[in-house]
Amino acid sequence: MVRLARRPRRKKRFKATADDDYQAFLADGDSRFKKITEGQFQAVYDQRGERLKAGYQVIFLGALKDDQNHVTLWKISYDDGGNDDLLRLAVSAGKISGALLGTPF
């Protein structure tokens, strides 16, 4: 079950990525998440920023058991009709501890 409090974090990450806003992207992260460099963030923006700006839909796929994190899986469908992405989002102690966005395979 996904708690509603988790959803605003996900939305903030997408908005921050679409807006090319590195600081906003890191805002709700824990110390591990905040180790993402500006260059790493920029690489994701370069690959997905325009698609996010053009519009997208997010569908919750499920949650995974993990000893240290609440891990959720999300399907990202872009309004441009191109390939979908898969987002894995990990939250620990109320902070984002990891995020991985990419193709399903």
State pLDDT tens for residues 13-40. 888 888 999 999 999 999 999 999 999 9
Using pLDDT thresholds of 50, 70 and 90, give the confidence band for residue 10.
low
In this prediction the pTM is: 0.83
Q: Which domains does the chain carry?
A: 6-102 (3.10.450.590)
Q: What pLDDT, on a 0 to 100 scale, did the predictor assign at position 7?
A: 55
Beta bridge partners of 78: 56
Residue 12: pLDDT band (50, 70, 90) is confident
DSSP codes joined into one string, the chain = ---TTHHHHHHHHHHHHHTT-HHHHHTTB-TTGGG--HHHHHHHHHHHHHHHHH-EEEEEEEEE--SS-EEEEEEEEETT----EEEEEEEETTEEEEEEEE---
Q: What average pLDDT does this structure show over 33-62?
A: 94
Point out which residues pair with 62 in neighbouring strands. 73
* pLDDT, tens only, 84-102: 999 999 999 999 999 999 9
